Amino acid sequence: MTKDALGERAADRRVLRIAGKDREDFLQGLVTNDLAGLRHGLVHAALLSPQGKYLADFLLVPEGEAILVDVKDSLAEALMARLALYRLRAAVDFAPTDIAVSRGLGPVPPGAFADPRHPALGWRRYGPPEGGTPEIDWDAIRVAHCIPESGIELIPDESYILEAGFERLNGVDFRKGCYVGQEVTARMKHKTELRKGLVTVRIEGPAGPGSTITAEGKPAGMLFTRSGDRAIAHLRLDRAAGDLRAGEAKLWRD
């Protein structure tokens, strides 16, 4: 196996397993995307609060008579607890696993899946721990394509998935029917113009994650992941013009 096919281990991910005869129907009524996509590979989806706010995002993985959930390690326990609240009489079981996540770039190797969020994110594979020393600058890739990360740009009980670009990142389906938080998400899609959102900005000067962005001296957003002279920022889009600054640094929207 070549080094490219081996990939790198994503050590900050945990894989959960959902089994039981009702697993697809159960998840279909909860998450933002259509599980029919599992017939073709991975499905990117999120679980929202009834108020439409982000709780967790994950990749759903087909595994025979079960579905794997590839989720940020820091969100895994809260996600399992939330799923258990919705279980009621559904014939489903949840369990953590010791399955490791490997990821890489280039052609998708046998047994792996293309990342459905964006071609630049390459592929992912699930199985025993494997992978070389981390060398890929994933933050640079995310910044270049404005791809949010769980727990960084995506903040539980605060973020809205449309502001985070989930439609562009194949994370929401507006034709699948009801799911938790669907009414708020649909209203944001069809009845209002987004006033806030994640964008890529260019930076001249020192400014790190967490820096407040101002426009003509008024608060306009916050800086998140930075890579070189570019970063992901959450901005008030109606103010994201003119003189944008983060401290002494000057910013421009890409």
Least Cα distance to 142 among 252, 205, 225, 219 occurs for 225
Q: What is the pTM of this model?
A: 0.93
Confidence of residue 100 (pLDDT cuts 50, 70, 90): very high
DSSP string across 189-209: HHT----EEEEEEEEES---T
Asked whether residue 30 carries a pLDDT value surpassing 80, the answer given is yes
Structure tokens at 17: 């397993």
Q: What is the largest CA-CA distance in the chain?
A: 57
Least Cα distance to 214 among 191, 241, 187, 190 occurs for 241
pLDDT at res. 241: 75
Least Cα distance to 213 among 252, 241, 244, 242 occurs for 244
pLDDT at res. 131: 63
Domains of the chain, earliest start first: 3-145 (3.30.70.1400), 195-253 (2.40.30)
Confidence of residue 6 (pLDDT cuts 50, 70, 90): low
Asked whether residue 95 carries a pLDDT value surpassing 70, the answer given is yes
Confidence of residue 60 (pLDDT cuts 50, 70, 90): very high
Asked whether residue 3 carries a pLDDT value surpassing 80, the answer given is no
Computed over every residue of the chain, the mean pLDDT equals 93
pLDDT at res. 132: 65
Higher pLDDT, 70 or 240: 70
Beta strand segments in 141-204, E:
196-204
- State the amino acid at position 106 in one-letter form: G
Asked whether residue 121 carries a pLDDT value surpassing 90, the answer given is yes
